[in-house]
Amino acid sequence: MSEYLSRVWVAAVTEEAKASELHPSLLLGGCRKYKVARARWRAFKRVLDDHPRISIKRLAIASGFDHTTILHGLKRLSGASTSEIKFGGTASGRRPLAAPSLMEAAE
């Protein structure tokens, strides 16, 4: 892990903790309380917005959190819910075998 990325992460955590009136160690730990988690998510977003060349994978390594935790936090900050995300074009996550118009044309 690069020293630069570590400094960027700690700076973001410190700023978000101060803004949220929390101790920075809460954001660095695994506390799942909403206020703490939301401040941590904002720290993730701050790092990625301010430093676009930093990947989620590198941020995960620097922060000690899994990349899926970071993705989940970013999704929650954006307001999207898991039920709104569609994979493969359907809400169930499965692609239809054939488009209805093609099946009708084949008959």
* pLDDT tens digit sequence for 2-18: 899 999 999 999 999 99
Q: Which DSSP string corresponds to 29-95? A: TT---HHHHHHHHHHHHHHHHH-TTS-HHHHHHHHTS-HHHHHHHHHHHHT--GGG--BTTBTTS--
Would you state the pLDDT for residue 78?
86
For 50, 58, 83, the CA distances from 80, given in Å and listed in that order, are 22, 24, 8
Q: What are phi and psi of 23, to 5 degrees?
A: -80, 135
What domains can you pick out in the chain, each with its CATH number?
A: 3-80 (1.10.1750.10)
> Do 13 and 26 contact (CB within 8 A), yes or no?
no
What does pLDDT average to over the chain? 81
> Do 72 and 37 contact (CB within 8 A), yes or no?
no
Choose the weakest-confidence range: 11-25, 44-58, 70-84: 70-84
Counting residues of the chain whose pLDDT is more than 90, the rounded percentage is: 67
